[in-house]
Chains A and B, each alone.
Chain A
Amino acid sequence: MGSGTAIGRVRGLGSAKHGAHHWWQQRLTAGANLFLMLWLMISVARMPGYDYAAIHLWLESAWVAVPMALLILSVFYHFRLGLQVVIEDYMHGESRVVTMILLNLFTFTLGGIALFAILKVAFSGAPA
């Protein structure tokens, strides 16, 4: 690590070995999302009713709360990776750093609220 040019400082060090990480995580979560979103659409379509009591009862079940929590984790990780690419394409310099921080704030805040809401409903339900 000298004080030479940017290329001179990294020449010979090899790759960081992280080149495919983002791409691979995006594909893995895409596969998980495919199954989880199909489950959600079918489960919502087949619900007996859409009044508050029916929805609450639906979300109380572990068979719904667990896949719903997994869906939040997979979908939110996936869209964080996706929006990161959008930001990298259209934002430059300082504003890119700021938007990237806001993206993380948005993802983790919403994800935290969603997981808390799912667990609150699941744990408030009558034991099966």
Chain B
Amino acid sequence: MASRNPARPLSPHLQVYKWGPHMLVSILHRATGSGMATVGSLLLVWWLAAIASGDQAYATFVDVFTTDTGGLNILGYVIAVGLTLSLFQHMMTGIRHFVLDTGAGYELKRNKMGALATMVASVALTVVFWLYMGIK
């Protein structure tokens, strides 16, 4: 790593741009990905290991996220909604990346529409998923 003289000026960065949906979904993609990679992967592995370990271990896992009556507790809601919303947001921005990778969708209006569409779709998919789980 080359050493840097802190006195030298840097080229203009994020602060010179007007904030837009394309910037929001870009950082959301990184944030949701990093969140799922750490919290999500730990919980997925804990869940799988608990299934393999036996019903005692599984009950311990379930207990952390549910109330005595079987419903989700506050932590359960935060984790469940947080992870599903993260998954669907990352999935939708990921699909958007596939489109952008082909060189399409860089026109200002279409790019903004695509960015907004990922957020609408991820919220809709999360609502549909939990409505389905609730109805069952």
Residues of A within 8 A of B (CB): 27, 30-31, 33-34, 37, 41, 45, 52-53, 55-56, 59, 68, 75-76, 79, 82-83, 86, 92-93, 96, 110, 113-114, 116-118, 120-121
For B129, the chain A residues whose CB sits under 8 A away are 41, 45
B45 contacts A110, C-beta separation under 8 Å: yes
Main secondary structure on chain A at its contact with chain B?
helix
B42 contacts A110, C-beta separation under 8 Å: yes
Complex CA–CA separation, A75 to B41 (angstroms) = 9
Complex CA–CA separation, A112 to B132 (angstroms) = 33
- B 87-136 contacts with A by CB, 8 A: 87, 91, 94-95, 97-98, 101, 129, 132-133, 136
Task: Known contacts A30-B98, A41-B129, A86-B30; decide if A117 and B41 are in contact (CB<8 Å).
Answer: no
* Count class of interface residues, chain B: 20 to 34
Contact with A along B77-95 (1 / 0, CB 8 A): 0000000100100010011
B132 contacts A45, C-beta separation under 8 Å: yes
- 18 additional contacts, CB 8 Å, given A45-B133, A52-B59, A76-B41? A27-B98, A30-B94, A30-B97, A34-B94, A55-B51, A56-B51, A59-B48, A79-B36, A82-B33, A83-B37, A86-B34, A110-B41, A113-B45, A113-B48, A114-B48, A116-B52, A118-B52, A120-B52
A52 contacts B91, C-beta separation under 8 Å: no
A30 to chain B, nearest CB (A): 5
A24 to chain B, nearest CB (A): 11
A27 contacts B132, C-beta separation under 8 Å: no
For A53, the chain B residues whose CB sits under 8 A away are 55
B109 to chain A, nearest CB (A): 26
